[in-house]
Structure 1
Amino acid sequence: MRKIIHIDMDAFYAAIEQRDHPQYRNHPLIVGGAPNTRSVVAAASYEARAYGIHSAMPSHQAHKLCPHAIFIPPRIAYYKTISQQIRQFFYPITPLIEPLSLDEAYLDVTHYSQTHHISATQIARQLLEKIYQTTQLTASAGVSYNKMLAKIACEQNKPNGLTILTPKKAQPFLDQLPIEQFPGIGQATAKILHRLEIHNGIHLRQANPHNLQQHLGKRALQLQQNAHGHDPRPVLSHRTHQSIGREQTLSYNLTEPHRLYQLLIQQNQQAHNDLITHNLQARTLTLKIKYADFQQITRSKTLTTPFIHPTDAHHWIKILLAPLLISPLKPIRLIGISYSTLNAPNLQPQLPLFPS
């Protein structure tokens, strides 16, 4: 049986800032854009979370919930450095490390546990202690026999907590767990389940599969598997990218077609640079636009050959934009460019992307 640890740093960005700036300690701190901009919360200290503030919340909404909160801009490059420092503690234990973000990762410690005759719980406890001793930052950990259970366990005792779900404890624990705490169940899905009188794990586990599928489609089977504690996914030391892209919430509503094209070309350059950084090629280009009324559209183009150079996309950006410019341009608040169909195995040698 596998031994999986999920480690999640506690309020990572905010904790770093409070560590480095004593004047921020014990105060509601928000790492993100100023409340008078269209920015969102990147991280919130636990003092801020007490007011209902969470990551991805619009900054202006966070300010309404806590007018006296301190807002500071993020230092992403610095956070990456600390994340890499923490990750170095994992490698002597296992090469099977799957980062989910800068502040959390899965570790498969099965082999190390067996060969060193040490429990996964002891390994997790030692890692948490080492992280704190070295960085003065706290983390929480969940330990179990698969990724899903380890992640759920990690969320149960934050901050600075350690939770273990053994095979004997897992099913009783899941049976009483509110459905909102299962992975893959957001607010919309939770509302559907509540209408079906499904409120916790045992309700989900014992639900009629056919009835569940009628309301949730293909996801129904996976959710019931989760309720049974099943998760066969391995810890992947090299995660496969599904897409790479950039998007930007504008500081003003954009209504000029020429300016829109200019900004998309800039984003395309950044997104293509990310492809090169990850040594990837892509055959699909996707344009994303969110209007001021929050209506969102995407337009994509898939080629038989990859976008080798950033300029290869310029023609197709114009083509994808054209239908949107027939009538006066609606005010736009967010734009994005992304690449997908990455590293397709059937790529042919590069041919002209469009007729001259």
Structure 2
Amino acid sequence: MFCLLRRRLSSVIDPSQIQFLRPISTTPPPPQNPSDQSSTFTVSYLVNSCGLSPESALSASKKVVFKSPSKPDLVLLFLRNHGFSNTQIANLATKRPSLLLAKPELTLLPKLKFLEEVGFSDGEIADFLSKDPTFLCRSLERKIKPSYDYLKSLLGTNGKVAAAIKSSRSSWILHFDLERIIGYKVEILRNHGVPEDNIVKLVTAKTRSLGNNNDRFEELVRNVRKIGIDPSSTQFVKAIYIFSGMNKKTMDSKLRIFRSYGWSEDEIVSAIRNQPLCIDVSEEKLEKGLDFFMNKLKWEPFELAKYSNLLGLSLRKRIIPRWMVIQCLLSKCLIKDAISISRVLKLTEAMFLQKFLVKYKSKAPEILKLYQGKL
């Protein structure tokens, strides 16, 4: 009977589809590869102990493998004891998972102490290292301290060194031979008559502008001088910072916007010379600013070039609300037509409120709502 049943089944079902009729093997599966077990444990640890997503943990497990939780547990305990939040630990583990195998007292602690001595607070240290954990992988004696020594000799105080490191938005400034990388650029600035105070300001607040190669930086300095900005002014180093972070395509696009509103080359140069920040705004903001001042207020290019700093102000939050208040007061003859809108826009918030809103709120009560954008 059983044979007959099998013959009938085989006539309608392919033999490969009747595996279930075969006896189930009782042989145990082969043992899992130890490396696979370690990888699985690593992923699990990164997810459960470090707060990584499964995808990030899987990616990180290709760079580091834990055979037991003992070493990473010590690192996590060390980081938490030094003010690292769960999010900061997750960021650090994502970017540099190998640090979870570091020796806390030998590798990590000296660098935290170094940052503390430079002037970083505990909170700043945790934030800085979670964003750029590469710093913890650098040699303190061969990389970090020599760069620090050069910065200290140039800037003078730990506070300014700390400001320079923070302004670079990463620890790259302490990764390389700084005297070789920015020393030549500092000499270029000195040779062009830039005062030492302004050089210190550039290095302290705009360190990334010195990351260009030497030839490009020298060309940049020459171009800023061609515009006519005085090397002894703070505008000179401000222009260097702005131009160093702008590629040719972006610059050309912004110049085309000026030209589309009828500006001559001399008027554009005049605007940049008066306030380099006018070319640093987004293309959208630049176009809206030009449209408002030239089409709404009917200013000529040469007039706006004198006050090009106004192009950096917010239309929605500052320019239009103040302009509307002034228009309302003019319509009620509470102020004179000769009032300078450029001076009004330059006033601090407190001064504007006192000079126009507080002073005239009884005679024109609607100006407060007008200023707040409710009318």
TM-score under structure 2 length normalisation: 0.23
Q: Which has the higher strand share?
A: 1
TM-score under structure 1 length normalisation: 0.24
Q: Which has the higher helix share?
A: 2
Higher relative contact order (CA 8 A, sep 6+): 1
